[in-house]
Amino acid sequence: MSASVQESLLDFADEAAPGAVRPERVPLRPSASNDIAWIDVQRGWLAGSAPLFARLAESVPWRAERRRMYDRTVDVPRLLCFYGEDTPLPDPALAACRDALTAHYAADLGEPFVTAGLCFYRDGRDSVAWHGDRIGRGATQDTVVAILSLGEARPLLLRPADGGGPTQRYNLGHGDLFVMGGSCQRTWEHAVPKSARPTGPRISVQFRPQGVR
């Protein structure tokens, strides 16, 4: 699928390459059980994000899915592609990102990032509903999920799963890195909302450890 994206004025690199992992850590409000949740944010972590976006938009075997929701089957409002632990990633730059993140988060994660889930948000009509990446870890085990955003910036929203606090908003795109750790997947939810405003395409790459979805 071909798609064009406006390049960031701060990213002049011709080839995609991750920089040093030096994010800003933001502690999140403790839950009722005092579990510790946090996010790491690093703007423009991946240099050359526009060429990588173009390659992935064109070469990844994107697929549309339909899922059962209550009493009907609906279209998933984004295109998807999942790369399991034994599947080569579609671009060497993504492998370099995964390896750099594994090295940096070894102490927090205790295991490597081994899978990559790719989402293609074609325009403002595409979205993802409130959720946490809890599958595979149960109700008590923490994990780390790292998101690399390519293309136009879209808001990622965060809110406490128990409803006890305000929603936080982060506009992510153009090579930004956003990492959720501690109890974040259990005690917080995240979403990418629809937008009625003209919105360019975005690709989200979610690096996860084994068994987490």
Give the residue-averaged pLDDT of 37-44: 97
Longest dimension (CA), the chain: 49
What pLDDT is stored for residue 164 in this prediction? 81
Cross-strand partners of 41: 24, 178
pLDDT of residue 140: 78
Mean local confidence (pLDDT), 194-212: 95
| Per-residue confidence (pLDDT) for residue 68, from 0 to 100 | 63
Examine residue 195 and state whether it is found in any structural domain, yes or no: yes
Tokens of 92: 């060497």
CATH number at residue 98: 2.60.120.590
Using CA atoms, how far apart are residues 20 and 96, in angstroms rounded to an integer? 11
Query: What's at 109, amino acid-wise?
Result: L
Decide if pLDDT at 155 tops 80.
Answer: yes
Tell me the pLDDT tens digit for each residue of 50-103. 999 999 999 999 999 877 666 667 789 999 999 999 999 999 999 999 999 999
CA distances from 195 to 39, 155, 180, 205, 213 (A): 24, 9, 24, 20, 25
Q: What whole-number distance in Å separates Cα of residue 171 and Cα of residue 181? A: 19
Pick the closest to residue 205 from 179, 169, 168 (CA basis). Answer: 179
Quote the number of domains for the chain.
1
**Contact 185/137 with Cβ under 8 angstroms?**
yes
pLDDT of residue 33: 65
Q: Look at residue 129 and tell me if it is in a domain.
A: yes
**Mean of the pLDDT values across residues 203-210?**
97
According to DSSP, residue 71 is labeled: T
Instruction: Confirm whether 143 is domain-assigned.
Output: yes
Backbone angles phi, psi at 49, to 5 degrees: -70, -30
Of 80, 110, 85, 79, the C-alpha closest to 98 is 85
Assess if residue 58 is contained within a domain: yes
Nearest to 95 by CA among 40, 137, 50, 56: 56
**pLDDT value, residue 13:** 65
The DSSP secondary-structure symbol of 96 reads H
In a domain, 14, yes or no: no
Domain boundaries, position 30: 25-208
1 pLDDT band (50/70/90 cuts)?
low
pLDDT confidence bin for 34, thresholds 50/70/90: confident
What is the structure's pLDDT at 144?
96
Cβ–Cβ < 8 Å for 94, 81? no
Q: Looking at the chain, which runs of residues are DSSP E strands? A: 17-18, 24-27, 37-42, 46-47, 66-69, 72-75, 79-83, 115-121, 128-131, 145-151, 154-160, 168-172, 176-182, 188-192, 202-208
Q: Does residue 3 register a pLDDT over 80?
A: no
For the chain, the C-alpha Rg in angstroms (whole number) is 16
The two tokens of residue 131 are 């959720």
Whether 163 has a pLDDT exceeding 90, the answer reads no
Q: Is residue 172 part of a domain?
A: yes
Q: Is residue 117 part of a domain?
A: yes
Per residue in 110-149, pLDDT tens? 999 999 999 999 999 999 999 999 877 777 789 999 999 9
User: What per-residue confidence (pLDDT) applies to 199?
Assistant: 94
